[in-house]
Structure 1
Amino acid sequence: MKRFVKFLVLAPVAVVIVLLAVANRAPVQLSFDPFSRTEPALAVTVPFFVVIFAAVILGVLVGGIAAWLAQGKHRKAEKRYRREADRWRSEAEQLRGTTGRAALPKA
């Protein structure tokens, strides 16, 4: 089921990406010089869909990093809870072992 839902979401996205790439093949000049509009010091001519895809990829990366950083406190709390649960589990096992031996009749 999970695989089907993934396909159901990714198939239309893939179609839109292909259509976007085909529709935006015209070259554009990407300038990295904010001071000169006519003769930029550093400029690259690329198809427009490359600019769009690069912006989307950069946005996904920045958003993913921001989400990862924002969830740091939750990961830290989860690690602390896991350590505490392990400590309680080992203490329970230890108490079961000592209680079981103490309850046996002496021979």
Structure 2
Amino acid sequence: MRYIRYASIAIFALALISIALANRQMVTVKVLPEELAVFSAMNPSVQMPLFLVIFGGIIAGLLVGFIWEWMREHKHRAEARRKHGEVKQLERELRRVKGQRDEGKDEVLALLDEAS
């Protein structure tokens, strides 16, 4: 299974290198389109290779997806946290009740009952 993972990573890396080598030409990335830049006093632009724009878009999309999913699953995590606290409280109550039940017994018998 480990070899399949390494092979998948190698194929993915080769694909990314191939995309980077095929898209080395420089492009101008602007913040606003020319029509909207007329209304603002500035329109910064940057010259960078096309593959950086592609990879940046992929990374930005992944980040947005991860954040979206994290926010969507918040209710499930909160419910699990609440249930975990409830279980801990019930375990403490069970230990207390068993302690009261075994109050007058021999210590060895109480330990054996507690183990079962």
TM-score class, shorter-chain normalisation, is 0.7 to 0.9
Question: What residue in structure 2 maps to residue 27 of structure 1?
Answer: 26
1:8/1:46 CA distance change after superposition, 3 Å = same
Question: What residue in structure 1 maps to residue 53 of structure 2?
Answer: 51
Q: Which 4+ runs in 1 deviate beyond 6 A? A: none
Question: What residue in structure 2 maps to residue 90 of structure 1?
Answer: 92
Q: CA RMSD in A?
A: 2.3
Question: What residue in structure 1 maps to residue 73 of structure 2?
Answer: 71
In 1, distance between residues paired with 2:67 and 2:103? 53
Q: 1:31 is matched by which residue type in structure 2?
A: K
Q: 1:29 is matched by which residue type in structure 2?
A: T
Q: For structure 2, which runs of at least 5 residues remain unmatched after alignment?
A: 37-41, 107-116
Deviation at 1:14, TM superposition (A): 1.3
In 2, distance between residues paired with 1:81 and 1:11? 42
Number of aligned residues: 102
Question: What residue in structure 1 maps to residue 83 of structure 2?
Answer: 81
Answering whether residue 9 of structure 2 is matched by residue 10 of structure 1, we say: yes
Deviation at 1:31, TM superposition (A): 1.6
Deviation at 1:89, TM superposition (A): 0.6
| TM-score (norm. length: structure 1) | 0.83
Q: 1:21 is matched by which residue type in structure 2?
A: A
| TM-score (norm. length: structure 2) | 0.77
Structure scoring higher RCO (CA < 8 A, sep ≥ 6) equals: 2
Select between 15-24 and 76-85 the one with higher mean Cα deviation. 15-24
Q: 2:20 is matched by which residue type in structure 1?
A: A
